[in-house]
Structure 1
Amino acid sequence: MAHGSTPHFHNTDGLRQIEVGSKEFMCVGALPPFDHPHIFLDMGKEDEVVCSYCSTHYVFNSKLDSGAANPPSAIFTAA
């Protein structure tokens, strides 16, 4: 699967909240094979969004680089 420049994040650890440095990204839920459909999330003018599949609460943090996350373990990279 090609990801291009759209960051992908996951919440395998079941975290209450994940800070991200991008307002547009993909949520994959948990790591495969337990992932949900990879959906595009766009915060728009807001600074937070909740994934409609896994209910992960993503919060924009302008201090993070684009594609970065806090914790860093929430970044999904295809094998």
Structure 2
Amino acid sequence: MAGGAIPHFQNDAGHKLIEIGVKEFMCVGAAAPFDHPHVYLDMGADDEKVCPYCSTLFRYDPTLSADETRPAGSVYRDEAA
């Protein structure tokens, strides 16, 4: 994702699948203190990627924007930023 910030996603609700509008992103697990190392994931030519830490399945949906998820509420926002 050259030229822009990498979106971060979290899974506080424990969803098995989160649809996102980007193919390069960071997974943080759940919100602190229940997060895992913030891991960079790249789907490449695929449309799905499983986080190796929390096993969340992320699926690319081109109809979603970079700051939108389905189900809603999985975009991570750093409170310090």
Give yes or no for TM over 0.5.
Answer: yes
1:1-79 correspondence to structure 2 within 5 Å: 5-79=5-79
Q: CA deviation at 1:72?
A: 2.3
Task: Tell me how many residue pairs correspond in the alignment.
Answer: 76
Aligned-partner Cα distance in 2 for 1:69–1:28: 15
> What residue identity is the alignment partner of 2:15?
L
Q: Unpaired runs of 5+ in structure 2?
A: none
Identity over the aligned pairs, expressed in percent?
Answer: 49
What amino acid maps onto 1:16 in structure 2?
Answer: K
SS at match of 2:41: strand
Which deviates further from its counterpart, 49-58 or 66-75?
66-75
Can you list the C-alpha shifts for 1:1-39, whole angstroms capped at 9, x where unaligned?
Answer: xxx611000111000100000100000001111100000
CA distance in 2, matches of 1:55, 1:48: 12
- Report deviation, 1:67: 3.0
Please state how far the C-alpha of 1:69 moved relative to its aligned partner: 1.1
Unaligned runs of 5+ in 1: none
User: Is the deviation greater in 69-78 or in 22-31?
Assistant: 69-78
